[in-house]
Chains A and B, each alone.
Chain A
Amino acid sequence: MTTASSAKRIDDNYNKNDRTNREGLRGWLNPLAYGWERVSYWFQRLTGIFLLVYFIGHVYETSSLVSGPDAWAAMLELTQTIGGHLFLILVIGASTLHTVNGIRLIFTQSGQGLGKPGRPDYPYDPTSINNKQRSGLWIAFILAAVAMLYGANVLFSGE
């Protein structure tokens, strides 16, 4: 067997194996058996996608400015409803959670707050998943809730 054909065989096996050991979206969305860190991963991505959709909508919404006051008022009416306010409150919560958790992730990826590496002993709890990381996540949730309450107060009182 030539080296080229053996390389091709390895390549074929690689591609075949590459496609079989994946859960795809199911694995991505499964929060079970992975703890709060998986929930954090999940929330970071879902809030990110939600905020990107909002950002595109917001750019489109504000473009009505160039069509004059009537077009602006008509577009604004869509957000001046209870549903519109609730949507904006969700945006406030998502952006706060994404921001605070994102800051935690920047520190984590730069090696801060991960603990010292040690010998893997039973029950094999990783030092990187520690109280610093978890408290960062809880702070993100608490700040998101506070921001949503403040936003609700501003939007529903009109002040």
Chain B
Amino acid sequence: MSSVQHQICVIALALLMGSMAHATPPDMVCVSDGVFRPLFRSQTDLKEVSVKSFYLDVVPVTNEKFLQFVRANPRWQRSQVKRIFADESYLKHWAGDLELGTNALPDQPVVWVSWFAAKAFAQWHGKRLPTVAEWEMTAAASPTLADGTKDVVFQRDILRWYSTSSPGVLPAVTSGPANFWGVRDLHGLVWEWVSDFNSATVTGDARGDTGLDRQLFCGAGAIGAQDVENFPAFMRYGFRSSLKAAYTIHNLGFRCAKDL
């Protein structure tokens, strides 16, 4: 996996830190400069958005890690959280405020968490949520290629997950193979929050993007999807557009990112 891309990360780091050695934070990897091709874009959007090198968690945040967070931050405990920041289902699978119980194993990805809670967790760790561009760029990597969009086998494996319903018991994190960057479980485990989930100004619903609802958006107007064969990308796009920040869902978790 040693490659040009990985070297870029190291070089970018060295430049940033004034050639001082700077270790990658524990349990994160460096994803290097690249481009994200938005699925939809307007006349004024670029075809490719450049993404600067950043760190990303290797696996989604687990129940165990989230428990540590709520222990230290009581306002994010199930009985304490304010309704505007998380809906009624927040952490509903836990046995109690500070008890995981049998339905939430320590190494399973935490789910039933809102965007606000995910954001607060990240901040507490000195991290942040990844952007759509960062997440999608990283998730485009197959086990062997930084850009796995043309890797037929990889695409088929992803589609398989999207076409099956979530298992009753979520697998533990690290259950999936590492991709080119060393990141795991971007596909096949849970959906993940991103910082700018509320940035899709095309609803993805053809009825909503023409005619009546045009007044809803300013300066949007898509010129069509970029990669019409990328069904999983449509799924993610549609899923994110349907979210509200206080929502909590049985198969929606998150992982954190960090600037270099």
A, B co-complexed: no
Binding site for B on A (CB under 8 A): none
Q: Write the residues of chain B forming the contact surface with A, with a CB cutoff of 8 angstroms.
A: none
